[in-house]
Amino acid sequence: MLFLSNEIRDSLGDQVKNTGKFEINMEEKFGQEAMKETAPPRLQEDLKKTQEKADEMIRDVKRTETKVSARIAHLEETLANMQNQLNETQSDVRDLRNMKADLHTGQTAYEFENYLCTYIYPPGTIATHDQKFTRLMKWLKENKETPEGREGNIKWKELTDKYGWTDATHIPVFFQMLRCTTPHAHPTVDFSVPLISENFNTSEKKKYVEDIRMMTAELCTHVV
């Protein structure tokens, strides 16, 4: 649009110059008084007014271009901010999905050893100790000659044969599954980030959480 306006203005400028030259030639040929009655002076005046309008059109176009450029810059900045927010949201979603997967995987391993103890140990046995799987495997070896131990070993063999279990491949993965919950159950706290659980849904409770959070951050500086 600006290119077209410039082209029109330049063309009009050329016509004004040509008309001026034509007027001079006419004055030389017919005299100044005779030229007052002729059309070229009026034509030149009309062309000058048209040129002025063309100049004003160009100024309008430039003002419009400035506004459009500013608007485009604002939109580009807004789009960049939205893209950053989208990237952060996608990153948060990935982190949450990974956390959910880790928690489910760790809980699966925890329930596996609990159910396994209930399934293999003699009825009425309560396995409340830690390292349940390790202690169960030890019990199976130590009691393989007892009726309860033989029955437990039969159950364990049937189950492992069904799923192709091998100690060398499955046990390391099982212990890794148990550790999946550790980073989420005991995360490294970033005291600069005011993350508060949604379970504290009143302003008073949130304040108390923040108080304890800040107290903890201060205490950290006193503990070596």
Q: What is the DSSP string of 116-181?
A: HHHHHSPTT----SSSHHHHHHHHHHHTTTSHHHHHHHHHHHHHHHHHT--HHHHHHHHHHHHGGG
Q: Is residue 32 part of a domain?
A: yes
Q: Is residue 69 part of a domain?
A: yes
pLDDT tens digits in sequence order for the chain, 224 residues long = 545 455 555 555 555 555 555 455 544 544 455 445 445 566 667 667 777 777 788 788 788 888 888 888 888 888 888 888 888 888 888 888 888 899 899 999 999 999 999 999 998 888 777 899 999 999 999 999 999 999 999 999 999 999 999 999 999 999 999 998 888 887 787 778 777 777 788 888 888 888 888 888 888 877 64
One-letter identity of residue 209: V
Q: Is residue 224 part of a domain?
A: no
DSSP 125: -
Domain that holds residue 20: 2-79
Q: Is residue 138 part of a domain?
A: no
Q: Is residue 46 part of a domain?
A: yes
Q: Is residue 177 part of a domain?
A: no
User: What is the value of pTM for the model shown?
Assistant: 0.57
Q: Is residue 74 part of a domain?
A: yes
Q: Is residue 24 part of a domain?
A: yes
Check residue 221 and give its pLDDT.
Answer: 79
Number of domains in the chain: 1
Check residue 140 and give its pLDDT.
Answer: 96
